[in-house]
A and B are shown apart, each in its own frame.
Chain A
Amino acid sequence: MALRFEVLGRFNRARAARLTLPHFLCETPLFMPVGTQGTIKGLTTHQLEDIGCQIILGNTYHLALRPTSELIDEMGGLHKFMNWPRALLTDSGGFQMVSLLHLADITEEGVTFQSPVDGKPMLLTPEESIQIQNRIGADIIMALDDVVKTTITGPRIEEAMYRTLRWIDRCIAAHKKPKEQNLFGIVQGGLDPVLRDICVQGLVERNLPGYAIGGLAGGEDKDSFWRVVAQCTASLPESKPRYVMGVGYPLDIVVCSALGADMYDCVYPTRTARFGTALVPEGVLKLKHQSMADDTRPIDSTCECMVCKNYTRAYLHCLVTKDAMGSQLLSYHNLYYMMQLSRNLHSSIIEGKFPEFVCDFLRKMFPEGDVPEWVCNAMEVAGIDISSCSTPLNSKLNLHTSSG
Chain B
Amino acid sequence: MPPAERREDSIDGAVAQTQVHSEQESTNMKFAIKAWCKSGRARVGLLQLKSSSSLGQGGPPAKEIEIETPALLLTTRKGLPAFISPDHLSFLPSPDSRLLQFSPMHFMEGPNSKTISNIGGVHRLLGLQGYGFVAVPRDSILSLPESYSSNKNGASFETPCGRFLVKPLEYMKMITSMKPDLWVSLADEVPASVTAKRNKTSVDRTITWLDDCISLNPRERALFGSVVGGCSVEERQRCAQEVAKRNVSGYYIGGFGLGDSIDERSTFLHAVTDSLPKEKPRQVCGLGLPEEVLQGIAAGIDLFDSTYIYHLTLEGFALIFPLNGKCKQHVSDPQLCATAGDYTKINLKATVYRKDASRIVEGCKCYTCQNHTKAYINHLLNVHEMLAQILLEIHNTHHYLSFFRLIREAITEGKFEEFRQNH
Contacts and interface: CB of A to CB of B under 8 A. Distances in A.
A61 to B, nearest CB: 12
B87 interface: yes
A180 B68 CA distance: 52
Given A45-B371, A81-B376, A312-B125, A328 B386 contact: yes
A44 B86 CA distance: 12
A319 B382 contact: no
B379 A324 contact: no
Given A66-B382, A75-B357, A325-B77, 4 more contacts: A81-B373, A81-B379, A325-B80, A327-B386
8 contacts: A41-B386, A42-B387, A47-B87, A81-B376, A83-B371, A83-B376, A310-B86, A332-B85
A318 interface: yes
A230 interface: no
A325 B85 CA distance: 7
A323 B387 contact: no
B364 to A, nearest CB: 15
B173 to A, nearest CB: 17
B110 interface: yes
Given A44-B367, A45-B371, A323 B86 contact: no
Contact of B125 (A306, A315, A329): A315
Contact of B390 (A44, A71, A293, A322): A44
Interface string A292-317: 01101000000000100111101101
A332 B85 CA distance: 10
B355 interface: yes
A349 B112 CA distance: 46
Given A83-B376, A325-B85, A318 B387 contact: no
Interface in B353-370: 354-355, 357, 367
A46 B371 contact: yes
A152 interface: no
A37 B109 CA distance: 33
Contact of A37 (B110, B111, B373, B383): B383
Interface string A212-249: 00000000000000000000000000000000000000
Interface in A49-92: 50, 62, 66-67, 71, 74-75, 81-83
B397 to A, nearest CB: 15
Given A44-B88, A294-B115, A315 B110 contact: yes
B78 A293 contact: no
B221 to A, nearest CB: 21
Given A37-B383, A44-B88, A315-B110, A324 B389 contact: yes
A296 B119 contact: yes
A42 B390 contact: yes
Contacts of B109: 318, 322
Given A46-B88, A328-B85, A323 B78 contact: yes
A319 B80 CA distance: 10
Contacts of B382: 66-67
Contacts of A332: 85
Interface string B171-211: 00000000000000000000000000000000000000000
A296 B116 CA distance: 9
B386 A314 contact: no
A120 B16 CA distance: 72
Contacts of B371: 44-46, 83
A38 B376 CA distance: 9
Given A44-B88, A306-B86, A314-B111, A66 B125 contact: no
A312 B122 CA distance: 12
Contacts of B385: 37-39, 41
B85 A47 contact: yes
Given A46-B88, A75-B357, A310-B86, A315 B386 contact: no
B82 A323 contact: yes
Interface in B10-30: none
A294 B119 CA distance: 10
Interface in B376-411: 376, 378-380, 382-383, 385-387, 389-391
A27 to B, nearest CB: 24
B383 A315 contact: no
A325 B386 CA distance: 10
A100 interface: no
B372 interface: yes
A8 interface: no
Given A37-B385, A318-B110, A323-B77, A296 B376 contact: no
Which residue, B86, B372, B387, has most C-beta atoms of chain A within 10 A? Answer: B387
B389 A315 contact: no
Contacts of A41: 385-387
A67 B354 contact: yes
A310 B127 contact: yes
Nearest to B111: A314
Nearest to A74: B355
B60 to A, nearest CB: 12
A317 B375 CA distance: 35
Most buried by B among A37, A50, A296, A325: A325
A43 interface: yes
Q: Which of B367, B373, B382, B383 has the most CB of A within 10 A?
A: B383
A319 B390 contact: no
A120 B372 CA distance: 34
A293 B113 CA distance: 12
A47 B379 CA distance: 20
A42 B84 CA distance: 10
Interface in A247-287: none
Contacts of A47: 85, 87-88
A306 B78 CA distance: 18
B414 to A, nearest CB: 41
A23 to B, nearest CB: 16
Nearest to B161: A322
B52 interface: no
A117 to B, nearest CB: 12
Contact of A67 (B86, B114, B379): B379
A281 B376 CA distance: 36
B421 interface: no
A314 B77 contact: no
Contact of A324 (B83, B126, B355, B367): B83
A315 B355 CA distance: 40
Q: Which 4 A-B pairs have the closest CB atoms?
A: A310-B127, A318-B110, A314-B111, A42-B386
Nearest to A314: B111
B118 interface: yes
A323 B83 CA distance: 9
A402 to B, nearest CB: 44
Contact of B111 (A45, A74, A81, A318): A318
Q: Could you say which of B110, B118, B355, B378 has the most chain A C-beta atoms within 10 Å of its C-beta?
A: B110
B101 to A, nearest CB: 16
Contacts of A294: 111-112, 114-115
A329 B357 contact: no
Nearest to B357: A75
B386 A66 contact: no
Interface string A166-198: 000000000000000000000000000000000
